[in-house]
Amino acid sequence: MNGRETPSKRFVIRGGRVIDPARNFDRTEDIGVDGDRISAASESDAAPAAGEIDARGLIVCPGLIDMHVHLREPGAEHKETIETGTGAAVAGGFTAVACMPNTKPAIDNIATLQHVIERARQIGVCRVHPIGAITVNRQGTEVVDMTALKQHGAVAFSDDGDGVENDSVMREAFARARERDAAIIQHCEYKAISAGGVMHKGRVSDALGLPGLDPRSEEDMIERDIALVRETGARYHVAHISTARAVELVRRAKADGLPVTTEVCPHHLLLTDDACSEQDPNTKMHPPLRTAEDVAACRRGFLDGTIDCIATDHAPHTAEEKARGFLKAPPGIVGLETALALTCEALSEDGSIDWCGLIRSMTVAPASVLGVTTPSLTPTAPADITLIDPRKSWRIAPETFHGKTRNTPFGGRDVVGRAVATIVGGRLRHQLADEAHRFERLSPIN
């Protein structure tokens, strides 16, 4: 370093329980940060004026990744922007998000893709990995130029919000994705089967007299897609899985050695269609809340490794939009700021949690599907770090969310587990106000 350069920031995260799934590491250790990289704690320690974060009692892990987020920019900035969405992400402990292309215009072209990447870079709160559309304008008829989109930074392809229904279009999409080693992330829903449905089709929808979404609309598309994966060898990821049979289809595909992965949302691990009884539009989402058997199957699928990832499907809609009533409100709920605690609740068995498994599903597993750098806390890795208090009790208060909207069915719920700090590229992007004492010895440069 010559005299004109500012000294790089260095600090040590001291005394935390370090969980690093990439190397099956779980023990108390100090972690060093030097500039935007992880360093050996001993080196950062020795440096003059190194700062310190007191992580005693906390879990220190690679930054969480949410691979299914709707940032709404461009085109629906009244719901969310890249700035507010990434702010919500770091508040929830995420250092990276993959954003869905159902924007206006859709991310089916280089200009829109570059706009998202450039805005995210300017804002610089967390990493943003854009997902390109599978088909032009998400219309399901013409496959996008995957080569160009991938070259310019699209990490995977999805028409999320809609499934690609036409078999030959889907076959073509798989073939092209296979050539580029990009994953297809499918929103599995045949609209011909689900059309008009506003909640899960079953006992509760019958009792309420509301049009139901048949679970076959999800399962039949997964079945069709797995057959195409067998033919093409493409990497296939089922978005927001929600039914018992869907989990079983993925389990069998994996047993057959096919490159199939899936994710589940915290709400599908916690709530059933009974939650729709009051017709609260904040219980309306696609896929819908299903039955107790489906919830149990999703939990089992997670615990036996069939389900690889936790993802939120963070889908902001304004209070005005949700006020249209259950039939007319747009589907979707926000998730970035509640995912960690809700996942803890869903996966704790007799009060204990497999933290290494949980963190793997929110770091290494989504990174592997997206084909981005493997998150790790080894020296020279990017300093993307999340500090979690596994015992922190708190009440979900939507009015305090950093995102623009409040559409969650979990407001007022008492939960346990929270991100105390989120570090992105060596910079502290979130710190929990009532844990300020832990950061007293951190220099202001951070």
State yes or no: residue 66 binds Zn ion (CB under 5 A). Answer: no
How many residues form the binding site for ligand DOR (CB under 6 A)? 12
3-state secondary structure of 350: coil
State yes or no: residue 251 binds Zn ion (CB under 5 A). Answer: no
How many residues form the binding site for Zn ion (CB under 5 A)? 2
Give the nearer residue to ligand DOR in terms of CB position, either 330 or 398. 330
Q: Are 56 and 16 in contact (CB under 8 A)?
A: yes
Stretch that binds ligand DOR, among 7-15, 134-142, 329-337, 423-431 (CB under 6 A): 329-337
Stretch that binds ligand DOR, among 81-89, 254-262, 330-338, 431-439 (CB under 6 A): 330-338
State yes or no: residue 161 binds ligand DOR (CB under 6 A). Answer: yes
State yes or no: residue 68 binds ligand DOR (CB under 6 A). Answer: no
Give the nearer residue to ligand DOR in terms of CB position, either 71 or 295. 71
State yes or no: residue 201 binds Zn ion (CB under 5 A). Answer: no
CB of 332 to ligand DOR, least distance (A): 3
CA distance 81 to 403: 8
Select from 160, 263, 321, 384 the one that contacts Zn ion (CB under 5 A).
160
How many CA within 13 A on the CB side of residue 443?
14
CA distance 292 to 28: 38
State yes or no: residue 160 binds ligand DOR (CB under 6 A). Answer: yes
State yes or no: residue 332 binds ligand DOR (CB under 6 A). Answer: yes
**Residue 345 interaction partner, one of Zn ion, ligand DOR, none, beta carbon < 5-8 Å per kind:** none
State yes or no: residue 70 binds Zn ion (CB under 5 A). Answer: no
The values of phi and psi at residue 244, to 5°, are -60, -45
CB of 197 to Zn ion, least distance (A): 14
Tell the burial category of 118 from Cβ atoms under 10 Å away from its Cβ (0-12, 13-18, 19+): exposed
Q: Are 204 and 292 in contact (CB under 8 A)?
A: no
State yes or no: residue 187 binds ligand DOR (CB under 6 A). Answer: yes
Give the nearer residue to ligand DOR in terms of CB position, either 211 or 390. 211
Give the nearer residue to ligand DOR in terms of CB position, either 284 or 430. 284
3-state secondary structure of 440: coil
Stretch that binds ligand DOR, among 119-127, 214-222, 325-333, 416-424 (CB under 6 A): 325-333
CA distance 324 to 327: 8
Give the nearer residue to Zn ion in terms of CB position, either 285 or 423. 285
Residue 15 φ/ψ region, left for φ over 0, alpha for ψ in the -120 to 50 degree band, beta for the rest: left
State yes or no: residue 71 binds ligand DOR (CB under 6 A). Answer: no
Residues tagged active-site: 313
Q: Are 246 and 238 in contact (CB under 8 A)?
A: yes
Select from 84, 102, 283, 408 the one that contacts ligand DOR (CB under 6 A).
102
**Residue 115 interaction partner, one of ligand DOR, Zn ion, none, beta carbon < 5-8 Å per kind:** none
* Tally: H helices and E strands in the chain: 15, 18
Q: Are 249 and 186 in contact (CB under 8 A)?
A: no
Select from 14, 17, 127, 187 the one that contacts Zn ion (CB under 5 A).
187
Select from 268, 286, 392, 418 the one that contacts ligand DOR (CB under 6 A).
286
Q: Which residue is nearest to ligand DOR (CB)?
A: 332
Q: Considering only CA atoms, which of 333, 313, 312, 314 is closest in space to residue 322? A: 333
Strands 385-395 and 236-238: unpaired
Strands 385-395 and 414-424: antiparallel
State yes or no: residue 285 binds ligand DOR (CB under 6 A). Answer: yes
CA distance 26 to 350: 21
**Tokens read off for 227:** 């057959």
Give the nearer residue to Zn ion in terms of CB position, either 80 or 160. 160
Select from 331, 335, 403, 426 the one that contacts ligand DOR (CB under 6 A).
331
Q: Give the count of beta carbons closer than 10 Å to the beta carbon of residue 312.
A: 31
Q: Which residues, in sequence order, are CB contacts of 315 under 8 Å at separation 6+?
A: 70, 285, 331, 332, 333, 334, 335, 407
3-state secondary structure of 444: coil
Give the nearer residue to ligand DOR in terms of CB position, either 70 or 200. 70
State yes or no: residue 189 binds Zn ion (CB under 5 A). Answer: no
Q: 110-123 and 82-91 helices cross at what angle (nearest 10)?
A: 50
Which residues are at the interface with Zn ion (CB under 5 A)? 160, 187
Which residues are at the interface with ligand DOR (CB under 6 A)? 70, 102, 160-161, 187, 285-286, 313, 315, 330-332
